[in-house]
Structures are given as C-alpha cells and as structure tokens.
Amino acid sequence: MSVARTGGSTAAEREQRYPCDELAPELEQELFRARTVAAPPQVVFRWLAQLRHAPYSYDLVDNLGRRSPRTLDPAAPPLAVGQRALIVFRVAAFALNDHLTVDTRGRWSMVMTYRVRPVPGGTRLVVKVRCGYPTALDGRLGRVLLPWGDWVMVRRQLVVLGSLAETW
C-alpha cells in the first residue's frame, strides 16, 4: 500500500473498526492517517473539537486565507451531531475523548473518523477516511488523485493539531 493510503498508520490500526465504517459501508475507498502526539487523549480531543472552527491544515488553501485559531475556544458549545466542521463537513457522531466522526455527502462523499487512543507518553491520533466517487471521469480521476491530496492536507492537519496539543 502507498503512503497516500496508509499515511503513518500501522497494520493493526488499519484492521480495526471505526465509526465511519458503520455510517458509510457503501463508500469503498479507505484511507488512513496517523500520528503520535505527546499530550493526553483528553487534550488532543479538545483540539479535535476545534475542527468545528477551522480545518487546521494549509489555511491559505482550505480556510480562505484565515489563520486557524491557536487557542482553545472556552465559549464553544458542546459537540453535537449536525454541527459544521472543517468548513464543508458535519459532525456525524462522536464520543468524548474517544472519536469525532464527520461527513459530507453528495456527488463526492467522505466520512472521516478521528480517533484518540492513549499510548505511553501521549496519544495515538488515527484518522480513517471512507470515500465514494461518481462513476464519471472526474470520479475515476478522483479515486487516483484524492488520496494524495488528502494525505498532504490531513498530514499537515495532524501535525498542527498535535503541536498545539503538545504546547497547550
């Protein structure tokens, strides 16, 4: 498997079931991204909840040039299914200090689970993405190109969120 499909995840992480599997079994392409963060799962999860405010990736590309917040929002309402996240996604499911699952449905569909797990010295942050594409030419191209673009963007997102959690 290529780095665009596995993105730092382990074989054991790829074999596990994630909430996105239950929400979108029809979306056939699976992508994984993972990073170890030197912060407790509760802190990492608080930063994941910030995905409701901004994407935390390449702000010029995916946040209309606005900088993603570098502080936690103390006035943020509790997570709730249906809230907007990552600009074009909605919160589909979550379990406090465990996972955040977001989705966007349409011609191109994606469901992503961000999962936190304690490991010695911190947290293992794993993202599983399930993708579905139209059958037209753009869908066939997307099946090849999206894993690479997603790898670049989510890799950056995990680095930024991890760094913020580690210095919080």
Inter-axis angle of helices 137-167 and 41-49, to 10 degrees?
A: 130
Q: Which pair of structure tokens corresponds to residue 18?
A: 């994630």
- Residues pairing with 94 in the sheet: 100
Q: Which domains does the chain have, with CATH numbers?
A: 3-167 (3.30.530.20)
Find all residues with CB under 8 Å of 167, minimum gap 6, and list them. none
Residue 147's φ and ψ, nearest 5 degrees, are -55, -35
pTM exceeds cut of 0.85? yes
pLDDT tens digits for range 118-145: 999 999 999 999 999 888 888 888 889 8
